[in-house]
Amino acid sequence: MSYEIIYNKQFVKVDKDNFVPMILCGSNNCTEFTNGRERRERSWLPYSHMIEGKTYGTLDEMLAKCEKIKDGYGDREDFKLEHFCSYIGIKIGSTYGNYKQYVNFFKNGCKNAKTVEELLEMHVYACVENSYLSPDSKIERKCVNVSTSEELLNSIAELTEFYKDTDVSVIVSFSNSTDYVTDSLKRSRKVNGIKRNNNRYEKQQLINKAKEYFQITLDGNYLIKLTRNGYRYVSYSGYGKKFLTEKEANSYVKRNKMRSSFAKAEVVKITNKIHD
């Protein structure tokens, strides 16, 4: 069976409310040779189908499109939301996702979107260009490299005006090669991961030095971490997940209040033993 594989995503933030849903994707039954080895073909391109073929769109438009696709299968008796991506012929990574995962793909994409300026810092270069034109087409091809969000919007407007009397659409692309973009994003995320770990270490040091901190109890046990189907716990205070302030702990409980295990969650103050 033929299907599309989405390997990665990096949405581009056009302005406060608008995004270009850029994805790294390719067909499962097409291959290419890269660095002497054969692999499934893939390329970075805008997921224009989710914004009705426009150059950019809002998160609400993407979610509305998800709903519209889902409603299109409403009459099928065998249709199940947990197998949503298999019906539409898309794998996100290595697995077929359910409807919630598909929706969250766009929510997270917009949440973690980068502006043109931020992408430049990651050595990823954006451009505005025409959609596909056949080799024998007499329509002029245009490609404008951009380095700011203002240039991005101006270039989109300029090319949209240029192609207004044709069936050519205007798209946002990455100027670099597929693997260069992918590697640049991977390096940047690794650096950000190191920074997050450093921040966690610094926060843990503050907790260790504080006279008191806060923990969450669930049925008399102390929370260590959440898992997909529940949580891990320990019976003794001083171990498990710690919060520097009561506000942080309450916010954590509030974010997870939909979990049945958090129905009786309580925030408790713990006196740091090193200050006894």
Res 75: pLDDT: 78
Residue 28 lies in a domain: yes
- What pLDDT sits at residue 38? 93
Tell me: the pLDDT tens digits for 4-34? 999 999 999 999 999 999 999 999 999 999 8
Q: How confident is the model at residue 257 (pLDDT cuts 50, 70, 90)?
A: confident
pLDDT bucket at 94, cuts 50 / 70 / 90: confident
- 193 part of a folded domain: no
Q: What angle do CA 174, 177, 178 make, to 5 degrees?
A: 85
Residues whose CB is less than 8 angstroms from the CB of residue 102 and which lie 6 or more positions away in sequence, other chains included: 66, 84, 85, 90, 92
Determine, yes or no, domain membership for 129. no
- Residue 104 domain-assigned? yes
Mean model confidence pLDDT for the chain: 89
- Taking CA 236 as the corner, what is the angle to CA 266 and CA 219, rounded to the nearest 5 degrees? 35
User: Last residue of a domain, which of 86, 113, 140?
Assistant: 113
Domain membership flag for residue 241 = yes
How confident is the model over 151-206, as pLDDT tens digits? 999 999 999 999 999 999 999 999 988 888 988 888 877 656 556 666 666 777 77
Express each pLDDT in 227-246 by its tens digit. 877 888 888 787 888 888 89
pLDDT tens digits for 198-222?
666 677 777 778 888 899 998 888 8
| 236 within some domain | yes
The token duo for 23 is 């994805």
- At residue 229, the pLDDT reads 77
Number of residues assigned to the chain: 276
CA distance 69 to 49: 11
Domain stops at, among 72, 98, 113: 113
Give the pLDDT of residue 192: 60
2 SS3 class: coil
d(CA 109, CA 20): 10
Q: Tell me the HSE value of 110 on the side-chain side, using a 13 A CA sphere.
A: 19
The pLDDT value given to residue 196: 63
Note whether residue 217 is domain-resident.
yes
| Residue 193: partners with Cβ closer than 8 Å, 6 or more residues away | none
Q: What is the mean pLDDT of residues 97-119?
A: 94
With tokens 């969650």, the residue in question is 265
Q: Which domain holds residue 245?
A: 210-275
Residue 222, CA distances (Å) to 57, 246, 247, 259, 269 in order = 44, 15, 18, 16, 12
pLDDT computed for residue 74 by the predictor: 76
* 259-268 pLDDT tens trace: 777 778 888 8
Task: Determine the average pLDDT of the residues in 120-135.
Answer: 92
Using an 8 Å Cβ cutoff, are 234 and 222 in contact? yes
CA separation, residue 58 to residues 21, 45, 141, 153, 179 (Å):
10, 17, 27, 15, 28
pLDDT value, residue 194: 55
- pLDDT tier at 149, thresholds 50, 70, 90: very high
Of the three residues 63, 81, 113, the one that is the final residue of a domain is 113
The answer, yes or no, to whether residue 80 has pLDDT greater than 80, is yes
How many domains does the chain fold into? 2
**3-state SS class at 66:** helix
Q: With 0-12 CB in 10 A as exposed, 13-18 as middle and 19+ as buried, what is 2?
A: exposed
Share of the chain above pLDDT 90, in %: 53
Residue 246 included in any domain: yes
